[in-house]
Amino acid sequence: MMHSVPKTMAAVQLIGHGGLDKLVYGREVPVPAPAQGEVLIRVTACGMNNTDVWVRQGAYGTEDDPSAVSTWRRHGNTLTFPRIQGTDTVGHIAAVGHGVDQTRIGERVMVDFSIYNRDDDSLADIDYMGHGRDGGYAEYMALPAENAHVVATDLTDVELATFCCAYLTGERMLERARLAAGERILVTGASGGVGSAIIQLARARGAIPIAVAGPGKEAAILEIGAEAVVTRGRGDLVEAVNEAVGGEPIDVVADLVGGPLFNDLLKILRPEGRYTTAGAIAGPVVALDLRTMYLKQLELHGSSQGSRADFRRLVRYIEDRKIRPLVGGVYPLSEFHRAQTDFMAKNFVGKLVVVPD
């Protein structure tokens, strides 16, 4: 049932793969109606992610051709145009569909953006809102009621919108790598949304995070919990990490960069160490010396998004104040091109957040 909801709204629609010209801001986009079992939220904030950019660019390639224009899902594409992107959505329930208790109207919720497609915790057929269906770069968004979660926190809507995608992705990486208390984890891309999340999530587990980041970001990363920061591009990475940890072993590498760093990261890992990745911002195609992998008995894990259990754990971390928001900037929806340009420049720590005008 709809309650005082307009027929049209402002939104940013992705109309095809390509440059920023493929992102079109409009004020006459139809407001979606919540279907059975769904809620409609009035969006108050939505965080920005690398996945938005890569999907817009069609930069995911295929298993046969890494340079092919392709979207996020390798098996069974669900992206159609126009599509409203945006995963890290926070808002207030404005209306409910049939079968949803009307007392939910007015709740402030954080959206679990995952489309699980299965009843268990397998992520083999995972999809997400902003890809398989519309997301939160809009004034309103419809979604399954079970994905709209009240979080017991006094954080602002903007602050709450920094968590979901980055921290859920990071938590899944740590789960796959079985990061334990007392272990040392090296985090690449540590100033970004997922990297800065992993630093905090590692601390929440009692582990010791060592960060790799670009120049000028060292102090901010130390402030959020890194034990030490190695500046990317200054000298030999293997030697720099060894010096930073005083020769102590690195148990886990959480890599969001890839590219030419990849082999050095495997060298840095101790024998029987674990490597986990959920991104490749410096290059997705890498050279792997299999001898390093098998002679050191290494584990290599690919990871993306998170399970329902990971999301529940993330909510507990927020409510228990074990992690905190890192807002790198706030932009009105009508200035989305500027927001995405600044996002791609990476001159910030944490997350950029878009809010309705």
Residue 318 located in a structural domain: no
Closest CA to 198 of 308, 143, 277, 299: 277
Which CATH number covers residue 189? 3.40.50.720
* Whether residue 148 is found in the same domain as residue 19: yes
Residue-level pLDDT at 1? 45
Residue at 2 is within a domain:
no
Q: Are residues 126 and 17 in the same domain?
A: yes
Structural domain including 103 reads 8-162+325-355
Q: CA-to-CA distance for 164 and 90, rounded, in angstroms?
A: 10
Same domain, 97 and 57: yes
The answer to whether position 314 is within a domain reads: no
Assign 172 to helix, strand or coil.
Answer: helix
Q: How far is CA 146 from the centre of its chain?
A: 20
Are residues 259 and 280 located together in one domain of the fold?
yes
Which parts of the chain have pLDDT scores under 70? 1-3
Q: What is the CATH number of the domain that holds 114?
A: 3.90.180.10
Q: How many helices (H) and strands (E) does the chain have?
A: 10, 17
Per-residue tokens: 215: 């120049």
pLDDT of residue 246: 94
What are the Cα distances from residue 84, in Å, to 2, 54, 139, 157, 353? 21, 14, 11, 20, 15
Distance CA 244, CA 223 (A): 17
Same domain, 156 and 171: no
| Same-domain pairing of 17 and 145 | yes
Same domain, 188 and 225: yes
How many residues in total does the chain contain?
A: 357
Tell me, what's the pLDDT at 3? 54
How many domains does the chain divide into?
2
Q: β-strand 327-332 against 299-302: which pairing, if any?
A: unpaired
Only one residue has tokens 């991104």, namely 279
